[in-house]
Amino acid sequence: MEKQEAKSLGRRLVLVVFPFQGHINPMLQLATILNSKGFSITIVHPQFNSPNHAKHPEFSFVSLPDGLSKSNISPTDLVALISALKTNCEAPFQQYLEEMLKVDDPHDRVACVVYDGFMHFAQVVANNLKLPGINVRTSAVATLLFFAVFPRAHDQGYISFKECLAQAPAPELQSLDFNDVLGPAEIPTPLLELRATVTHATKKASAVIVNTMHFLEQQTMSKVHEYFPSPIFCIGPFHKLAPPSASSTSLLKEDTSCISWLDKQAPNSVIYISFGSMVSMDEKELVEIAWGLANSEQPFLWVVRPGLVHGSEWIELLPESFKERVEGRGCIVKWAPQKEVLAHGAVGGFWSHCGWNSTMESVCEGVPMLCRPYFGDQGLGARYVCRVWKVGLELEGVLERGKIERAIRTLMVDSEGVEIRERAKDLKEKADLCLSEDGSSYNALNELAQHILSF
């Protein structure tokens, strides 16, 4: 579909963002993709972690009062967070949309509400105003099942875990080991309720958009279709379909000096370490990682986010003897231009927490991974990487310097690592195909645009 075609039809999409880095990035990338297809875009976001409006003059922005800025809710307390956003944002969002709909401009008509799955109240508002809602998963297709399926067999409104998997024990689903990823058999009731609410909204949506590639989750996708009637468009990874000119959506300032440092390193020699925007760890773990890196004798680029260890400023907890030992061989930054880092020829491995964005970014650049998931969907990402696609190794159990040193050497220099690297390169080639003309993501995007125009 040509850009002009959609523009002349005057369709505006209202995108609702969940205010954390791993959700802001894909949602703004999606906005850029849809804008490049000719749709006008309004970004609705809570005040907390506001994206920088000035960086995106092509979008309109609306900021909703959220009550989060002053609260003590931890970013990892998903239930409290999502519930606070619903309580504080639902009414102002409905009010805003009502006002918008009153201005009946045929050249700028609201076509639908496209919302992050965690902002599920947006579907309720869309239903109230008789607008179509499109649910966006910024993570794997498997998270649709992850939220819908749970281990207890007989509770109302949920899909039984046993029933879901016993009927079709596809190898991919078996490798994901939902039983384990889903956590304890006795899931707290508020979390179960949240899963049910998010799943309910997804089922009410006119369509679902997922930041994944079909071939990566083929068997899971077949299973998901059994439970979710709406059309599902796998148009990921968004960061690759977004026009290359798209501005950075980082909330933290990227330290680009690490790129000049990478320029001086040998090809495939550097291990890049980053645990994303939300993981925190204790001092002991940080120090074990430091010595593991030092003892591996490999060059490394390490993102130590301020506050990675709760209460710390930055790297003051790292011993001076470590800093002296790795001088010149290691580069530590507060925040990196990660996509550029992963695309750099010097980077030969990525030690990651397996957030879905990081996982997709690594897959697209053919970089093999060391996986250390902490919470949420990170365990799912790690299982895909290590057990399904087999392009990484998992670092399990207590983190200790000897284990880290061995794992890094296995990935970066041993024969096992060479095989993993080859598979990672193969996966990148498949991803390139998927994104190119007539590839599955490319085609799904065109189908999505047509679907929106049919509303």
> Facing residues of 149 across strands?
159
* Least distance (Å) between residue 69 CB and ligand UDP: 19
Binding mask 291-330 for ligand UDP (x = CB under 6 A): ------------x---------------------------
| Shortest Cβ 276–ligand UDP spacing (Å) | 3
Q: Which of 250, 280, 296, 298 binds ligand UDP (CB under 6 A)?
A: 250
Query: Which one of 52-60, 186-194, 274-282, 292-300 is the stretch in contact with ligand UDP (CB under 6 A)?
Result: 274-282
274 contacts ligand UDP (rule: CB under 6 A): yes
Could you tell me which of 227, 146, 140 has the C-alpha nearest to residue 179?
Answer: 146
Binding mask 366-405 for ligand UDP (x = CB under 6 A): ----------------------------------------
User: 3-class SS at 27?
Assistant: helix
Q: Which residues pair with 135 in a beta bridge?
A: 115, 208
Question: What does the alpha-carbon distance between residue 96 and residue 275 come to, in Å, rounded to a whole number?
Answer: 36
In the complex, what is the shortest distance from the CB of residue 103 to ligand UDP, in angstroms, rounded to a whole number? 35
User: Considering only 182-190, 272-280, 385-393, 397-405, which stretch makes contact with ligand UDP by CB under 6 A?
Assistant: 272-280
Instruction: Determine, following the binding rule CB under 6 A, whether residue 117 of this chain makes contact with ligand UDP.
Output: no
Q: Which of 424, 349, 350, 389 is nearest to 140 (CA)?
A: 389
Count of positions on this chain that bind ligand UDP (CB under 6 A): 18
Q: Cα(380)–Cα(362) distance, rounded to whole angstroms?
A: 15
CB of 303 to ligand UDP, least distance (A): 4
Pick 335 or 384: Cβ nearer ligand UDP: 335
Give me the least distance between CB of 21 and ligand UDP, in Å please.
5
3-state secondary structure at position 373: coil
In single-letter form, the type of residue at position 312 comes to: S
The verdict on 199 binding ligand UDP (CB under 6 A) reads no
In this structure, are residues 148 and 158 in contact, taking their beta carbons and an 8 Å threshold?
yes
Q: What is the rounded distance in angstroms from the CA atom of residue 119 to the CA atom of residue 54? A: 24
| Contact residue for ligand UDP among 19, 22, 51, 237 (CB under 6 A) | 22
Binding of ligand UDP by 336 (CB under 6 A): yes
Residue among 387, 369, 425, 355 at smallest CA distance from 220: 387
Which amino acid is residue 329, in one-letter code? R
Q: Which two tokens stand for residue 108?
A: 């700028």
Please select the residue that binds ligand UDP; options are 298, 338, 362, 441, rule is CB under 6 A.
338
When the beta carbons of 30 and 126 are compared against ligand UDP, the nearer one is 30
At residue 6, the 3 state secondary structure works out as helix
Whether a cis peptide bond, with omega within 30° of 0, leads into 57 is no
Residue number, 165 or 380, with CB nearest to ligand UDP = 380
Identify which of residues 97 and 371 has a Cβ nearer to ligand UDP in the complex.
371
Q: Pick between residue 22 and residue 292 the one whose CB is nearest to ligand UDP.
A: 22
DSSP string, 30-67: HHHHHHHTT-EEEEEEESTT---GGG-TTSEEEEE--S
Cα first-last separation, the chain = 16
Rg (the chain; Cα; Å): 22
Residue 90 or 377: the one with the smaller Cβ distance to ligand UDP is 377
Q: How far is the CB of 99 from ligand UDP (least distance, A)?
A: 32
The reply to whether 357 sits near ligand UDP by the rule CB under 6 A is yes
CA-wise closest residue to 283 among 252, 322, 257, 250 = 322
Chain contacts with ligand UDP (rule: CB under 6 A): 21-22, 25, 250, 274, 276-278, 303, 335-336, 338-339, 355-358, 361
